[in-house]
Structure 1
């Protein structure tokens, strides 16, 4: 399975500091622009207490049925590991209904992995969280400003419903700053750890 490996730091800042930092980044990273988007993520219930235990998510970017992904994410030795695989709306709905038998024999390694974990650990759809983000590509990774974090009321059934009721989870006067830095390892180490090529940058930091 292909993993992207990165360090991640987070910090809450107020809106004045956000404005200053955003302008500084735009001046430093010439010819780059912030990408604005809304992301909804559904987390499957499992072991919530340990970052070293893989967590699985369904992700939808801008409510676009061409931008649906299954995500696996966990931390090891202070390094985040992430794997993603694209889904169509039909297969996404099947997963939400608990119809995952088809994933067992899929050519996509992440689908096989999810089927095994969901079967062994009885994973089930949990809450949907909505994020409003601004993301900028930098020399060694990405900086994202998360301006709103909301819990979507109504459970997983509202993953695709744009008018769903939400509950604010981030203070109104705060912005969450997230910095992700790629872990650069020699090719031989990558091959030993993953057995295949790494993911592209766009896929690796899509969310």
Structure 2
């Protein structure tokens, strides 16, 4: 399990006019993510975990300063590279650790067959087993969206535009490509995420106008729970 240092993360809701203006400027100085397709996007599907008391959801809504969430994630319907991830947030800074997980392991986990997690040599697997046993954490809901991502090496900056955010409501049918989903954010809204290490270069600040746009406590998982 590879540890990464904590990073700054800001999120904003923007409209289509903002998106067109900002993305056009970003393309002149930032590199497009290598996983993007011909439309400059890639698809993300995540399965989020929570417990019977909706601990993860309520901590987000209540703005708890130290919190974490587990999810399983893959890109572009590619099952050869699936990740189990834990995202932590402390004092406004974010950290993510991940491990590769197989389709078979995902299906076993979703069905409640989790002993393999405790038998693993991967610390993240063992930690999830502990949380599923101790906190009754379990797979909760699926979130789908498309992402357009740009990278800037100075400051290790990553800027993403998340669009068409949809939920499978209470479904955990992770590998169902025909899973019925429903939109959770106004289709005219796009989520702009800005992530960086110690500093955000001034040229990036100017492009995204972060000083003129208020950061918002946005959670795609929380938004997906609007229906239950």
| Aligned pair partner of 2:151 in 137, 157, 164 | 137
| Aligned pair partner of 2:171 in 152, 155, 170 | 155
Aligned-pair CA distance for 1:154: 5.7
1:38 aligns with 2:43: yes
| Structure 1: tracts of 5 or more residues without a match | 185-207
Aligned-pair CA distance for 1:122: 0.9
Aligned-pair CA distance for 1:123: 0.9
Q: Specify the alignment match of 1:106 in structure 2.
A: 120
| Distance in 2 between residues matched to 1:77 and 1:3, nearest whole Å | 18
Q: Specify the alignment match of 2:210 in structure 1.
A: none
Q: Cα gap change, 1:91/1:2 in structure 2, threshold over 3 Å: closer, same or farther? A: same
Aligned-pair CA distance for 1:33: 2.3
Q: Cα gap change, 1:123/1:39 in structure 2, threshold over 3 Å: closer, same or farther? A: same
| Distance in 1 between residues matched to 2:192 and 2:18, nearest whole Å | 11
Q: Cα gap change, 1:179/1:172 in structure 2, threshold over 3 Å: closer, same or farther? A: same
Q: Is 1:153–1:164's contact at 8 Å kept on the other side of the alignment?
A: no
Aligned-pair CA distance for 1:183: 4.9
Moved over 6 A (4+): none
Q: Specify the alignment match of 1:75 in structure 2.
A: 89
- The size of the alignment, in residue pairs, is 181
Q: Specify the alignment match of 1:23 in structure 2.
A: 24
- CA-based RMSD of the aligned residues comes to 1.7
Q: Is 1:38–1:132's contact at 8 Å kept on the other side of the alignment?
A: yes
| Distance in 1 between residues matched to 2:111 and 2:59, nearest whole Å | 26
| Structure 2: tracts of 5 or more residues without a match | 61-65, 200-228
| Distance in 1 between residues matched to 2:197 and 2:124, nearest whole Å | 21
Aligned-pair CA distance for 1:153: 4.4
Q: Is 2:67–2:90's contact at 8 Å kept on the other side of the alignment?
A: no
Q: Specify the alignment match of 1:187 in structure 2.
A: none
Aligned-pair CA distance for 1:131: 1.4
Deviations 1:110-145 (A, max 9, x none): 111111111111111101111111111112221000
| Distance in 2 between residues matched to 1:171 and 1:136, nearest whole Å | 23
| Distance in 1 between residues matched to 2:87 and 2:32, nearest whole Å | 27
Aligned-pair CA distance for 1:3: 2.7
TM-score, normalisation: structure 2? 0.74
Q: Specify the alignment match of 1:199 in structure 2.
A: none
Aligned-pair CA distance for 1:105: 2.4
